[in-house]
Every structure is written in structure tokens, then in C-alpha cells.
């Protein structure tokens, strides 16, 4: 703080208000994330980032202070501008943005606003509803309705027995026969998902068995399939990434899978380390280092973190 | 406003240079003293030892090929031994020798002159034009260079500015300057591309512009691709055609070479307007076996020119593709494509650019003047308090250090906005390694020696430890002037070593100082030379007169009381006058004239009196 006081009383070509602003910004740099540096809400779009960066540049680019007596403010301004550039690049370059997201998923959660609630359903007035029903009862299509209900109940039964394929077939028929009814479609979707998760679990099991037997190729195939089928949980993705890395094959896919796992569980130290190791193997040492550093924040003494950080250095 | 220093922007081109300034918030070109906007970047020493710059120098090039220096921009800041230079020297009509540090020197008369000095003469000429325009001295300037120039070339250009007596506020990239001039005063928002094919170099830059902020997204180019190469293709075509017909190699004759070069350039320019041009060079040489002189006359069509230069055109497009990729921009994302440089007047180039970007390129700018205007805008923006524009420029080359195994590790990649800095941790590769040598590299290659070495330094006396145990932080920093500094720090002991890269543009600091001191003399000499010459002859006449009268006066004076003292003074005055005859400064000469005139006056009075006495 003493240095700041000193800086405030320095003889430089800057207005007192401007000085305080620069001092404050410089002070805060370390604490702020990329969005905060640019004065943006978390998850701001690349276009917003660019605009904010340009606006901030007008305030902090060293050329705005060309040949002015700046004293200790010179380095401060340079530092602020560099930080602004760093934030802007990290958030506008798609590749870098994705990476920053995998490091700090919490900053992007809010990025996609929740879908607007479905329009409230206004039940028709009772008299009009009765009239409508009477009119519809004369319609020939309506005779299909009981059939649809029958199909639905059979599908439910089949589904509970694990006969997903047949349940899906019934549900498809039901939604065809009653296209205006959303229930069969919703259920169809749900059943398909359930089937996928079930299959994913099976693939995962198969992969586990293959890995135990030492057949890494098969295990990788199974895990990848499992990860593809079930995108809700990080387990399969992480396992697939780990085996792919062990095989040294398809590192790009491995990286993506590991990134997905990290994005879903940012605080899982194993996932972070795995991603770091894969990045290192891809030759992206800088990114690897960033991951390990992030991991070190969670658990600095983890052996994997330590060895990872060590490997991320360069040899002279 | 009036007492603010006048600032200028200079486009120091391969073939032509332009100077501009901002007046009343509008950038404008300053005409040279012959009334032209463009000043040829040509310097010559005529047969009678007179120095010529610009149009005058260019005009006498054909008759004085060995004393006329042109296109030095293609050589400046390069190593004499480099491949491009060796290649370029084959077609130069003026003699070039190797300097002390593998730099390039031009042999003019009996002197070897460095390239920054040559460029300084052109800059000095433009400076004088500007001073003429403002009616006051001008010292502050922004000078442009091709975006793809490396550090050495930039530094050499800066040196040239210093030698010319200019304070170089900034070395600015040409395409960026063009963008500034294009966007100045307009309300542009969006991405623009600048396609700059000049006399010697090709540059392509993509910028994002919003509310007066010009952010360079990516830049690239080739500093050996420009109008000169197109001329050279025509020249070769002429030479080979001639050799086939007459069996004589015209390139052996410097004068013929200069005429061919001239003819080729003229034909190329004509072909931008018309479909075919005739190159007519009578008495170009005498045949090998003797006999009557041979004439060269050939007709070049636009199609033939396009055929001869198809690969050059292709190269510009492949670089463009690459830069757009780096910028992550599709041609359809661009708001405008701006053509810069005289070569973009060639219909084929304009057509290919149009095809590539799928749009009509912008015609609103003058391709040869826009760069200087942009430089003036930047000079104005830097020095005025309420600048309407801000430029966010990038580093055009990657920077890194050499690591174990002869590889290069990139710390700052190209197209990074400056100022910037980057730190990375390095470690030792051998047990008990106590020294690390940090070699700072510029370039894109993974292999260390394929990059340009900017400088090197050592971090010594490290703690003896097993390999991989020591941690050394290496920090790169580029400030907004583009100056690179590198530091290394032992994490454990805090021991540090660092350098600021001042790449020699071929000249060491001492040499630069010497040249500048010499230059001061030279400036005094050249500006006052005619005046001085007249005064010197006046002085020498006076000396003769005084010397003639001296014996008589001596006789008269020895009798008088104050005589001896006066005689001594006269002798002293005569000595200074004789020395002044050899001096360069006009002031010294005038001073002696004054003194001697007074002496002569005194002599005459004495003589009269003595005459009276004698009579």
C-alpha cells in the first residue's frame, strides 16, 4: 500500500482521477478473471469482448500516453494493457476460449441463458371445449385415438421390461397415429435416452473387462462408444481418454474427451491431470502447464500434479 | 496549435518515397521541391562528384549506372552473405561490397557507404521538402516499413532516420499505415484486408476496426516480392531473347543493364493501360566480334507479361490465403479489401484479388500515397492530446529461444498484439550445468538455426545440480515501440541476466555516432557550399592583395612605435585566412574575409600616409 501512496504523490503528467483509476485497476489485475478485467459479465460473447477490449484500449494503450512523463505509472499501464490483451485473446479465439472454459467452467455456466419457460397453457373455456369435443367426435381420425392409448400403455410395459427396441417401435406408431399429441413424442425421446444410457453402461462394462484382460484396443473402442452414447457423466469420457492416451492413439479425440470430463467436474484432480498429460503429449505444453497449475490450486501436493508441473518445463 | 512541432509521416519506398503530414485534421501529401508527390528513392554521385537525390538522380541513372544507387530497401538490414542478397546482387548496376560485420556497403566514388546512410539521403531530402512546406525545422517523423521486415531491417531504417537528423517516433508497418489512412475520419466498423504489393515487398494484413481503434489481427508477406521482380522478369526475357538473336549477353554491360531495367519498368507501367508496349533501346551494345552497334526492339504484350509473372501473382495469393487462415477470417467476413502499392495497378493483380476475395477492391485510396498519409496520421495520433485513432499493432514474427537439441521454443507467437510479455520456465539438460546460454530467435522454424538470431546472453554461476532440478524463468517483453527485451532468472537464487535487443542494422553504435558527426559537417557543407565557394574566392583574392602589400607596409611600420605588435597581428590574420580557405564552414570563411578587409583598409591608409611622407 505504501508504494501506492507514493505513486499517488508522484509528479507525472496524469490527472489525479486518472491516476487513481490506473492504480486501482493495476491493484485488481491479479484478482480478476478475464471477464472482470474487461468489465464484462461472465460468459459475454466474443463480439462483446472485442468491443470492450477496444474501448479499454483507448484508455490504457501506452500510445495514449506517448512521450508523457509517467514515472511508475508507465509499467502499470503496460501491465494493464497486456492483461487486457490476454483476456481479449483468450475469449475471442475459439480454440483459446474453449480451453479457458475447460479451466473455468463456472464462468461459462451462465453463458447460455436458460431457455424461456414454455408459454403457459390456457385451458379453453368449458363451454367452448365441450363444443369442440362434440365436433371432433364426428371426425374419422379420432377413431385412432384409442389405438394410440393402447400402444402407449404397451410401450410402457415393454420399456420397464428392458425391451427398448420394441417400445420405441410402438411409440413411433403412437406418435404417428396421434400427431397432435405431444405425449408419445416426449416418451419416445425419453426411451431413446434410456436405451442409450443402458447401452453406454454395457459398453463401459465391456470396456472394463477388456481392459482387465489387457486388450486396450477393444477397451478404447468400448469406452469411446460409451462416452458417445452417454454425454451426461464424465466417467466414460475420462476412461476413454485415459486408454487412448495409454495407446498413444488419436490424441486429439483423447484431448476432447478429457476436456469434456474436466468441464463436467472441474474440481476432479484426476481428470485435470489426465487432461494435462494428454495436452503435454499433444505437444501443447503451455496448455498442459495451465491445467496442472489449475490442479495445483485444488491439491498442490498430489504426486501427479507435481510430476506434471515438472515435465512442463523446457530444457536448455 | 501553431507552436506545436510539425510532425511528418514518411513512406520510404523501394522505388519511390512520399512525405505527408496532418493539417487541419486532414492528412495530406507534401509535394517535393520539384512539385511532385513522389520522390524516387534514388541517390547518385555524379561524375563531377555532386550528390543527387530523387528525380535528378533517377534522370541521370542511364548515363551513370555505377554512381546511381536505387532499391536499397531490398538490401537494407540484411547480411551480405545471405542467399537473397547474393541473388539480388547479380542484377545490380552499382558496385556493392561487404562491410565489416557482414553488412552491405555501396561503393560510390572512393567511399564505401552503408545502406542506412543512403536511405538517410532520401529521408534528408524529404525532410527538406517538409521544412520548405512548413517554413520551420521538422525533426519528428514516423517512418514506414513493410510489415514483414525483421528487427534488423527495422533498426537499419531507424538508423537512417537518425542519420538524416530525424527523431523517429515510430517505425510503422506499411499495410497498417494504409488502413489508418483509409479509415481516418470515416466511421468504419468491421474487418478489412490490405493487399500491399509495392516496389520491392508484398504485405497482406487483416485489421478489425471499430470506433477509431485499428486492431491488426494478422499480417504476413514476403520482403522479396514486388515490382522489381516483375521488372526483372521482363529484363530476363529481353536479355535471353537478345542473346538468342545476337549471341551477346547484355548483363555484362552495366550501362546496358541500367537501360534494360529502365525500359522494362516503363513497358510494365504502360501495360497497365494499354495492351502492348514496345521496348526500343537503340545502340544497346556492340557485337562480340566487333562491327556496327546492335539495337534492341521488342514488343511485349499484356498476355506475355502475365505469363512471365504468373508465379509471382500466384505467390501473393498463397500468402494471402495463409494470412486469412491465421486471422481465422473468410473472404466473405471482410468489409473491404484495399489495394496499396504501385504494382496493384497491374490489371491482372487487381483481377486476381477481386476473384480471390469475391468482391471489387476499394478504389477510394491512392495506392502510392496512402501509406505516407497513414504514417502522418499515426505521427499526429501519437503527438496530439485528443487523438481520434488508436492503433493496436502486432509482432509480425514469432520470438523464442534455442533449447536443447537445436530446437527453437516459441514464447511469443506472431500476430500477438504489442506491447506484450511472456514468461516460461526452463530447466537444465545436463547434470551440474552451471551456465545456460539464452539465444533469442526470431522466425517461424522449429529448428533453431533456421531462425534469425537476434542476440544471446548467458546466465552463469548457477548452483550445481542434477539436470532438471534448476528452474530458470525466461521472460520476453516487447514494448509498444517494438523493442524486445529478454531476461532470465534463477528461481531459487533470484540471480538475473537480461538483454535489450538492439539488432544492428549493419551499423554498430560507434559507427552510427561517427556517421552522424560526419553528417553534421556534410550538412553544413552541402547547404552552404555554393555560397562558401564564392566567399572562398573572395578570401583568396584578399590574401593575395595583403601578401603583396605586406613587404612595403613592413618597411613603413618597423620605424613606428606600435609597428612590431601590429605586424604580428597581421601575420596571424593571414595564417587564419589561409587555413579558412581549406575549411568547410562558411562562417569561418566570412570571419576571415572581415578581418582581412580591415587589414587591407589599414594597409591602404598607411600606404597613403607613407606615400605622402616619401613624396
The neighbouring-strand residues paired with A315 are: B427
Q: Are strands B472-478 and B484-490 parallel, antiparallel or unpaired?
A: antiparallel
| B496, pLDDT greater than 80 | yes
Contact A316 B436 (CB under 8 A): yes
| From B125, B196, B203, B490, the catalytic residue | B196
State how far the Cα of A144 lies from the Cα of A154, in Å rounded to an integer: 16
Whether A261 and A277 have beta carbons less than 8 Å apart is answered as no
Q: First vs last Cα of chain A: how many Å apart? A: 38
pLDDT tier for residue B347 given thresholds of 50, 70 and 90: very high
pLDDT at B493: 83
Percentage of chain B exceeding pLDDT 90: 48
Distance separating alpha carbons of residues B113 and B535, to the nearest angstrom: 30
Q: Which residues of A touch B403 (CB under 8 A)?
A: 314-316
CB contact under 8 A, A63 and B391: yes
Task: Find out whether B476 and B486 touch, Cβ atoms under 8 Å.
Answer: yes
- Other C-beta atoms lying within 10 Å of the C-beta of residue B382: 20
Specify the pLDDT at position B190: 92
B565 catalytically annotated: no
Would you call B478 helix, strand, or coil by DSSP?
A: strand
Residue by residue, DSSP assigns B268-326 as: HHHHTTSSEEEEEEEEEE--TT-SSPEEEEEEEEHHHHHHHTHHHHHHHHHHHHHHHHH
Here the CATH number for the domain that contains residue B117 is 3.30.420.40
Mutate to test the interface with B, among A57, A67, A288, A315 (most CBs of B within 10 A): A315
pLDDT at B531: 67
Chain B residues with CB under 8 Å of A64 CB are: 387, 390
Contacts of B429 in chain A (CB under 8 A): 315-316
Q: Name the minimum distance, in Å, from the CA of A293 to any CA of chain B.
A: 13
Cβ contact, residue pair A314, B424, below 8 Å: yes
| Shared domain check, B159 and B21 | yes
Active site residue B594: no
Residues of A in contact with B420 (CB under 8 A): 82, 85
HSE, CB side, 13 Å, CA atoms: give it for residue A138: 4
Residue B266 lies in a domain: no
Q: What is d(CA B270, CA B302) in angstroms, rounded to the nearest whole number? A: 9
Q: What is the DSSP string of B546-559?
A: HHHHHHHHHHHHHH
Angstrom distance (rounded) from CA B432 to CA A312 = 21
* CA-wise closest residue to A105 among A33, A30, A197: A33
Sheet holding B334-340, edge to edge: B334-340, B190-197, B202-210, B213-222, B390-392
The ipTM estimated for the assembled molecules is 0.77
Q: In this predicted structure, what is the pLDDT of residue B24?
A: 87
Which residues have a Cβ under 8 Å from the Cβ of B337 and sit 6 or more positions away?
Answer: B192, B193, B194, B195, B353, B357, B359, B361, B362
| Of the candidate ranges A302-316, B154-168, B346-360, B407-421, the one whose mean pLDDT is the lowest | A302-316
Domain extent for B542: 509-614
Would residue B256 count as lying in a domain? no
The whole-angstrom distance between B121's CA and the closest CA on chain A is 27
Contacts of B382 in chain A (CB under 8 A): 63, 66-67
Q: Which residue has the higher pLDDT, B385 or B414?
A: B414
Considering only CB atoms, A315 lies closest to which of B383, B403, B437, namely B403
Largest CA distance in chain A: 92
- Helix (H, G, I), strand (E, B), or coil: what is residue A69? coil
Does residue B477 share a domain with residue B407? yes
Domain assignment present for residue B547? The answer is yes
B333 has catalytic annotation: no
Nearest to B75, CA basis, from B108, B97, B45, B46: B97
d(CA A18, CA B86): 55
Domain check: are B529 and B461 in the same one? Answer: no
Domain assignment of residue B281, yes or no = no
The answer for residues whose C-beta is within 8 angstroms of residue B390's C-beta and 6 or more apart is A57, A58, A61, A63, A64, B212, B213, B214, B381
* A78 interaction partners in chain B (CB closer than 8 Å): 419, 479-480
Does residue B492 belong to any structural domain of this protein? Answer: yes
Residues B484 and B574 occupy one common structural domain: no
The CATH number assigned to the domain holding B406 equals: 2.60.34.10
CB B506 within 8 A of CB B103: yes
Q: Do A82 and B420 touch (CB under 8 A)?
A: yes
Question: Which residue in the list B151, B174, B203, B393 is annotated as catalytic?
Answer: B174
Facing residue for B210 by CB, picked from A54, A93, A312 = A54
* Contact flag A314-B409 (C-beta cutoff 8 Å): yes
Same domain, B25 and B109: yes
More confident residue, B17 or A164: B17
pLDDT digits 0-9 by tens, B258-309: 899 999 999 999 999 999 999 999 988 887 777 788 899 999 999 999 999 9
Cα–Cα distance, A210 to A142 (Å, whole number): 53
Instruction: Name the β-bridge partners of B338.
Output: B194, B362
CA torsion, ordered A189, A195, A200, A202, to nearest 10 deg? 180
pLDDT tens, residue by residue, B536-574: 788 888 888 888 888 877 777 766 666 677 777 788 888
* Mean pLDDT to the nearest integer, B530-538: 74
For cell 381420425, what's the residue? A141
Q: Are residues B377 and B417 in the same domain?
A: no
Q: Which three cell numbers stand for residue B490?
A: 534463477
Task: Provide the 10 A C-beta neighbour count for residue A120.
Answer: 5
How far CA B466 is from CA of B301, B451, B589, in Å, comes to 71, 30, 74
- Looking at beta carbons, which residues of chain B come within 8 Å of A286? 424
Model pLDDT for residues B366-376, shown as the tens digit of each residue: 999 999 999 99
Between CA B246 and CA B295 the distance in angstroms is 10
Q: pLDDT (tens digit, 9 = 90+) per residue, B502-522?
A: 655 567 777 777 877 776 655
Residue-wise pLDDT for B141-159, tens only, equals 999 999 888 888 898 999 9
Of the residues B459, B479, B500, the one at which a domain ends: B500
Contact B6, B21 (CB under 8 A): yes
Closest CA to B242 of B212, B213, B280, B274: B280
pLDDT for residue B32 is more than 90: yes
Beta carbons of B346 and B248 less than 8 angstroms apart = no
Per-residue pLDDT band at B614 (split at 50, 70, 90): very low
**Which residues of chain A carry a pLDDT beneath 50?**
111
| Among candidate residues A266, A267, A210, A213, the one with its CA nearest the CA of residue A239 | A210
Read off the C-alpha cell for B196: 500491399
Q: Compute the mean pLDDT over every residue in chain B, rounded to the nearest whole number.
A: 87
B132 as an active site residue: the answer is no
Q: Which of B355, B381, B407 is the last residue of a domain?
A: B381
Q: How many residues does chain B have?
A: 615
Residues B605 and B464 in one domain: no
pLDDT above 70: residue B412: yes
Q: Are residues B430 and B483 in the same domain?
A: yes
Query: In the prediction, which pLDDT does A140 show?
Result: 65
Same domain, B401 and B537: no
Q: Is the pLDDT of residue B254 over 90?
A: no
Percentage of chain B lying above the pLDDT 70 cut: 93
Residue A96 touches chain B, beta carbons under 8 Å:
no
Residue B348 has pLDDT above 50, yes or no: yes
Flag whether residue A15 sits within 8 Å of chain B, measured between CB atoms: no
Among all residues of chain B, which has the CA nearest to that of A65? B382
Hey, is the C-beta of A66 within 8 angstroms of any chain B C-beta? Answer: yes
- Does B177 share its domain with B53? yes
Chain B closest-CA separation from residue A229 CA (Å): 32
pLDDT score at B419: 92
Q: Name the interface residues of B facing A (CB cutoff 8 Å).
A: 169, 208, 210-213, 215, 328, 381-383, 387, 390-392, 403-405, 409, 416-417, 419-421, 424-429, 433, 436-438, 467-468, 471-472, 479-480
CA distance B423 to B412: 9
- Tens digits of residue pLDDT in B459-485: 888 888 888 888 888 999 998 877 888
Q: Which of A53, A81, A313 sits opposite B426 (nearest CB)?
A: A313
Report the distance separating Cα B523 and Cα A138, nearest Å. 108
Encode pLDDT of B581-593 as tens digits.
Answer: 766 566 677 778 8
As a whole number of angstroms, the distance between CA B145 and CA B387 comes to: 23
Please name the residue that has the C-alpha cell 618597423: B558
User: Alpha-carbon distance A24 to A7, whole Å?
Assistant: 12
Element (H, E) at B204: strand B202-210
Asked, for residue B205, whether it belongs to a domain, the answer is no
Rg (CA), chain A: 29
CA distance B184 to B391: 11
State residue B463's pLDDT score.
83
- What predicted TM-score, i.e. pTM, was given to this entire model? 0.71
Confidence of residue B249 (pLDDT cuts 50, 70, 90): confident
Q: Do A81 and B210 touch (CB under 8 A)?
A: no
Selected catalytic residue, list B11, B262, B393, B490? B11
pLDDT for res B163: 93
A50 and B210 within 8 Å at the Cβ level: the answer is: yes
Instruction: Tell me: pLDDT of B1 over 50.
Output: no
For residue B419, cis peptide bond before it (omega within 30 degrees of 0): yes
Q: How far is CA B312 from CA B75, B224, B309, in A?
A: 20, 10, 5
Q: B434 and B564 share a domain?
A: no
Structural domain tally of chain B?
3
Residue ending a domain, choose from B346, B381, B416: B381
Partner residue opposite B404 with nearest CB, options A50, A81, A315: A315
User: Does a structural domain hold residue B263?
Assistant: no
Q: Does A286 touch chain B (CB under 8 A)?
A: yes
Q: Are residues B41 and B118 in the same domain?
A: yes
Write down the pLDDT at residue B3. 45
SS3 category, B586: helix
Alpha-carbon gap: A111 to the closest alpha carbon of chain B (Å): 23
Cβ contact B34:B127 at 8 Å: no
- Any domain includes B586: yes
pLDDT beyond 70 at B41: yes
pLDDT of residue A115: 56
Q: Which of B382-396, B409-423, B587-601 has the lowest mean pLDDT?
A: B587-601
Cβ–Cβ gap A58/B212 under 8 Å: yes
Q: Is A78's Cβ below 8 Å from some Cβ in B?
A: yes
Amino acid at each position: 500500500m505504501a508504494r501506492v501512496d507514493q505513486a499517488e504523490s508522484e509528479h507525472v503528467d496524469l490527472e489525479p482521477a486518472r491516476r487513481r483509476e490506473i492504480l486501482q485497476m493495476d491493484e485488481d489485475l491479479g484478482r480478476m478473471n478475464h471477464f472482470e478485467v474487461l468489465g464484462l459479465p461472465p460468459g459475454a460473447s466474443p463480439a462483446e469482448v472485442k468491443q470492450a477490449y477496444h474501448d479499454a484500449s483507448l484508455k490504457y494503450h501506452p500510445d495514449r500516453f506517448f512521450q508523457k512523463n509517467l514515472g511508475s505509472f508507465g509499467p502499470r499501464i503496460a501491465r494493464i494493457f497486456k492483461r487486457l490483451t490476454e483476456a481479449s485473446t483468450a475469449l475471442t479465439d475459439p480454440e483459446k476460449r474453449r480451453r479457458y472454459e475447460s479451466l473455468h467452467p463456472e464462468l461459462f455456466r451462465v453463458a447460455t441463458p436458460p431457455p424461456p419457460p414454455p408459454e403457459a397453457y390456457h385451458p379453453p373455456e368449458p363451454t367452448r371445449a365441450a363444443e369442440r369435443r362434440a365436433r371432433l367426435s364426428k371426425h374419422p381420425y379420432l377413431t385412432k385415438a384409442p389405438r394410440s392409448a393402447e400402444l402407449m400403455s404397451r410401450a410402457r410395459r415393454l420399456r420397464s421390461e428392458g425391451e427398448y427396441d420394441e417400445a420405441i417401435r410402438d411409440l413411433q406408431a403412437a406418435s404417428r397415429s396421434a400427431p397432435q399429441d405431444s405425449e408419445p413424442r416426449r416418451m419416445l425421446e425419453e426411451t431413446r435416452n434410456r436405451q442409450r444410457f443402458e447401452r453406454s453402461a454395457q459398453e463401459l462394462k465391456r470396456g472394463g473387462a477388456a481392459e482387465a484382460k489387457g486388450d486396450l484396443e477393444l477397451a478404447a473402442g468400448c469406452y469411446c462408444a460409451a462416452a458417445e452414447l452417454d454425454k451426461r457423466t464424465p466417467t466414460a469420457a475420462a476412461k476413454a481418454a485415459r486408454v487412448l492416451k495409454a495407446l498413444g492413439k488419436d490424441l486429439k479425440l483423447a484431448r476432447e474427451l478429457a476436456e469434456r470430463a474436466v468441464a463436467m467436474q472441474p474440481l476432479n484432480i484426476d481428470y485435470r491431470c489426465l487432461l494435462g498429460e494428454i495436452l503435454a503429449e499433444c505437444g501443447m505444453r503451455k496448455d498442459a502447464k495451465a491445467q496442472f497449475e489449475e490442479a495445483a490450486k485444488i491439491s498442490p501436493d498430489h504426486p501427479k500434479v507435481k510430476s506434471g508441473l515438472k515435465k512442463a518445463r523446457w530444457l536448455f | 496549435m501553431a507552436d506545436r512541432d510539425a510532425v511528418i509521416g514518411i513512406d520510404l519506398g523501394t522505388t519511390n518515397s512520399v512525405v505527408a503530414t496532418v493539417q487541419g485534421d486532414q492528412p495530406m501529401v507534401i509535394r517535393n521541391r520539384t512539385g511532385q508527390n513522389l520522390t524516387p528513392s534514388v541517390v547518385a554521385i555524379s561524375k563531377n562528384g555532386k550528390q543527387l537525390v530523387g528525380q535528378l538522380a533517377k534522370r541521370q541513372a542511364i548515363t551513370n549506372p555505377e554512381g546511381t544507387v536505387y532499391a536499397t530497401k531490398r538490401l537494407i538490414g540484411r547480411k551480405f552473405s545471405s542467399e537473397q542478397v547474393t541473388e539480388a546482387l547479380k542484377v545490380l548496376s552499382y558496385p556493392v561490397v561487404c562491410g565489416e560485420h557482414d553488412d552491405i556497403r555501396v561503393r560510390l566514388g572512393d567511399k564505401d557507404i552503408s545502406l542506412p546512410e543512403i536511405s538517410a539521403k532520401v529521408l534528408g531530402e524529404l525532410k527538406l521538402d517538409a521544412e520548405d512546406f512548413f517554413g520551420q525545422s521538422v525533426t519528428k517523423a514516423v517512418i514506414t516499413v513493410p510489415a514483414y521486415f525483421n528487427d534488423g531491417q527495422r533498426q537499419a531504417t531507424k538508423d537512417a532516420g537518425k542519420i538524416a537528423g530525424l527523431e523517429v517516433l515510430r517505425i510503422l508497418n506499411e499495410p497498417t499505415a494504409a488502413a489508418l489512412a483509409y479509415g481516418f475520419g470515416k466511421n468504419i466498423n468491421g474487418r478489412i484486408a490490405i493487399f500491399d504489393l509495392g516496389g520491392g515487398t508484398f504485405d497482406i494484413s487483416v485489421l478489425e476496426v471499430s470506433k477509431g481503434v485499428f486492431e491488426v489481427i494478422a499480417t504476413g508477406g514476403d520482403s522479396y516480392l514486388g515490382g522489381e521482380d516483375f521488372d526483372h522478369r521482363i529484363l530476363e526475357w529481353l536479355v535471353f531473347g537478345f542473346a538468342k538473336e545476337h549471341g551477346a549477353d547484355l548483363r555484362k554491360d552495366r550501362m546496358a543493364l541500367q537501360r534494360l531495367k529502365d525500359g522494362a519498368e516503363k513497358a510494365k507501367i504502360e501495360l497497365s493501360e494499354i495492351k502492348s508496349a514496345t521496348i526500343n533501346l537503340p545502340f544497346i551494345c556492340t557485337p562480340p566480334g566487333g562491327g556496327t552497334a546492335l539495337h534492341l526492339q521488342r514488343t511485349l504484350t499484356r498476355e506475355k507479361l502475365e505469363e512471365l509473372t504468373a508465379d509471382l501473382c500466384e505467390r501473393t495469393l498463397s500468402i494471402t490465403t495463409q494470412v486469412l487462415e491465421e486471422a481465422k477470417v473468410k473472404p466473405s467476413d471482410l468489409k473491404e479489401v484495399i489495394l496499396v502499392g504501385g504494382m496493384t495497378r497491374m490489371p491482372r493483380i487487381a483481377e486476381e484479388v477481386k476473384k480471390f476475395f469475391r468482391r471489387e477492391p476499394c478504389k477510394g485510396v491512392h495506392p502510392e500515397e496512402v501509406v505516407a498519409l497513414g504514417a502522418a496520421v499515426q505521427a499526429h495520433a501519437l503527438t496530439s492530446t485528443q487523438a481520434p485513432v488508436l492503433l493496436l499493432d502486432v509482432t509480425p514474427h514469432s520470438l523464442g529461444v534455442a533449447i536443447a537439441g537445436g530446437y527453437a521454443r516459441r514464447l511469443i507467437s506472431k500476430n500477438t498484439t504489442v506491447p506484450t510479455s511472456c514468461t516460461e520456465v526452463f530447466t537444465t539438460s545436463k547434470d551440474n550445468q552451471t551456465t545456460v546460454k539464452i539465444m533469442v530467435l526470431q522466425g517461424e522454424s522449429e529448428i533453431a538455426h533456421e531462425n534469425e538470431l537476434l542476440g544471446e546472453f548467458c546466465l552463469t554461476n548457477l548452483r550445481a545440480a542434477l539436470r532438471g532440478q534448476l528452474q530458470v524463468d525466461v521472460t520476453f517483453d516487447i514494448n509498444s515501440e517494438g523493442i524486445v527485451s529478454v531476461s532470465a532468472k534463477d528461481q531459487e537464487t533470484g540471480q538475473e541476466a537480461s538483454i535489450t535487443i538492439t539488432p544492428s542494422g549493419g551499423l554498430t553504435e560507434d559507427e552510427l555516432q561517427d556517421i552522424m558527426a560526419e553528417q553534421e559537417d556534410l550538412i553544413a557543407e552541402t547547404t552552404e557550399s555554393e555560397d562558401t565557394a564564392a566567399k572562398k574566392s573572395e578570401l583568396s583574392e584578399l590574401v593575395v592583395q595583403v601578401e603583396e602589400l605586406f613587404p612595403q607596409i613592413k618597411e613603413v611600420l618597423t620605424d613606428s612605435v606600435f609597428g612590431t605588435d601590429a605586424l604580428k597581428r597581421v601575420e596571424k590574420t593571414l595564417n587564419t585566412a589561409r587555413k579558412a580557405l581549406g575549411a568547410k564552414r562558411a562562417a569561418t570563411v566570412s570571419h576571415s574575409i572581415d578581418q582581412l578587409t580591415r587589414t587591407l583598409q589599414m594597409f591602404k591608409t598607411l600606404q597613403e600616409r607613407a606615400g605622402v611622407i616619401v613624396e
